[in-house]
């Protein structure tokens, strides 16, 4: 896993400030550590409060366009669509409990 994370960091050219394997595109709404959701009120929709398994399931759901937990699922579609299965695993590792 570590090797994969390092390899993808090199490929994506991400800075070391970011969590391993998490695309910079997530930053604006969730922060580099997945600790917020600027688009959902009431402290909900925060990725790093989820288990790794739930995180993976959610990202696959948004990617498929079938998940809409807080009425704002459409916002996540364009960000989850380009993710590969390996990237989804890495995000779950970096942010999930």
Residues that bind ligand HEC (CB under 6 A): 23, 25-26, 28-30, 37, 39-40, 45, 47, 50, 55, 58-59, 67-73, 75-76, 79-80, 83, 91
Min separation Cβ 75 and ligand HEC, Å:
4
Minimum distance of ligand HEC from residue 25's CB (angstroms): 5
8 A C-beta contact, residue 86 and residue 61: no
Cβ neighbourhood burial of 57 (10 Å; 0-12, 13-18, 19+): middle
User: Which residues, 6+ apart, have CB-to-CB distance to 18 below 8 Å?
Assistant: 24, 27, 32
Q: Could you tell me the smallest distance in angstroms from the CB atom of residue 8 to ligand HEC?
A: 13
């Amino acid at each position: 896993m570590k090797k994969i994370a390092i390899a993808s960091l090199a490929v994506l050219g991400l800075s070391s400030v970011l969590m391993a394997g998490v695309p910079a595109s997530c930053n604006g709404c969730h922060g580099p550590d997945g600790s917020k959701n600027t688009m959902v009120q009431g402290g909900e929709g925060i990725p790093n409060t989820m288990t790794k398994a739930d995180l993976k399931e959610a990202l696959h759901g948004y990617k498929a366009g079938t998940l809409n937990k807080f009425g704002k699922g459409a916002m996540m579609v364009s960000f989850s669509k380009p993710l590969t299965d390996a990237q989804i695993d890495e995000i779950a590792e970096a942010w999930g409990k």
